[in-house]
Amino acid sequence: MEEVLRHRGRVVSATDVGGIKKLIAKNPDASRRELSKKLCEEWDWRQPNGALRDMVCRGLMLALDRAGHIQLPPVRYRPPNPFLEKRHREVIELDETPIVGSLAGLGPLELRQVRRTPDEKRFDRLIETHHYLGYTQPVGEHLKFLAYARERPVACFAWSSAPRHIGPRDAFIGWKQWHRRHNLHLLAYNSRFLILPWARVPHLASHLLGRMTRELSAEWQKLYDHPIYYAETFVDPERFRGTCYRAANWVSLGITTGRGKADSTNKANRSKKYVMGLPLAKAFREHLVRLP
């Protein structure tokens, strides 16, 4: 099979390209979105929860178009980004009176999964305002959590689909490429963790991390119909030491190459970060090297 392109773990052959060209020719009035859905249906390309891999397929077709292998129809519509439009004018009023004292004196803490709820806008705004990386809309499977103390938000967690290839993590798990291709969705990446600036309570971060990772798999199961067996994150050593992760039993596995997922030069183009991970089940390796 002649490989033309590899996108998100899927190999596209010359035969596949010919089939895509025929699909475009048969549907001359279809938009790019419609074509990607038709191709997903033709290939039966689906997420673990059964939904079509529409966005991934659209990216694959765009890559083929840019490489000159196919010709997509012109872009008809660029949807507005409501978050970018509102980010500078939407104000969320919150009590920012400092919360000080001990963890025991803080009272009961509640973790709420807020994706697809009215509190999601509050989460997005808090991350945009107070996290040094700001807010970026996640792609693929993702969850958002707010931690509350007596109805006041004190922390935010964002979890998303894991990066495809992280050398230290892959070595720690001990899986091969085909295992990773089939089971990557069973990992979750902690893309944002924020203790809000008014919460000044020692050990709050590590305590919430422990709570969060105990509840993460069950919450993922509710929305995506599959569990999570392993959690991971990156820590920028120029800013942090990862103390709260270590205190919550996360393990430092190594350091990234600094090249990023879109690298084509084999040269570092961003800061290197520590890779930290936490198995969420005793038999996590058994689950992650299992093939369907």
The pLDDT tens digits for 56-93 are: 898 888 888 888 899 998 877 655 555 555 554 456 67
Extract long-range pairs of 37-41: CB within 8 Å, 24+ residues apart: none
- Give the CATH number of domain 82-288: 3.40.630.30
Query: What is the C-alpha separation between 204 and 170, in angstroms, rounded?
Result: 30
Residue 105 DSSP one-character state: G
Please give the backbone phi and psi of residue 244, each rounded to the nearest 5 degrees, phi first.
Answer: -70, -35
How much is the average pLDDT of 151-160? 96
User: For residue 82, what pLDDT is reported?
Assistant: 55
Q: Has residue 145 got a pLDDT over 50? A: yes
Residue type, 246: R
Q: What is the average pLDDT score of the chain?
A: 88
User: For residue 47, what pLDDT is reported?
Assistant: 82
C-beta neighbour count of 113 within 10 angstroms: 21
How much is the average pLDDT of 129-155? 93
User: For residue 283, what pLDDT is reported?
Assistant: 95
Q: How far is CA 158 from CA 189, 228, 261, 266, in A?
A: 8, 15, 20, 29
Query: What is the C-alpha separation between 46 and 244, in angstroms, rounded?
Result: 37
Residue type, 245: Y
Evaluate if pTM is beyond 0.75.
no
How much is the average pLDDT of 109-137? 94
Domain with CATH 3.40.630.30 in the chain: 82-288
User: For residue 81, what pLDDT is reported?
Assistant: 57
How much is the average pLDDT of 144-172? 95
User: For residue 140, what pLDDT is reported?
Assistant: 86
Query: Which spans in the chain are helix H?
Result: 14-26, 32-43, 54-66, 82-86, 120-130, 167-173, 177-183, 204-224, 243-247, 284-288
Looking at per-residue pLDDT, the higher value among 212 and 82 belongs to 212
Query: What is the C-alpha separation between 275 and 183, in angstroms, rounded?
Result: 19
Confidence class for position 161, pLDDT limits 50, 70, 90: very high
User: For residue 2, what pLDDT is reported?
Assistant: 76
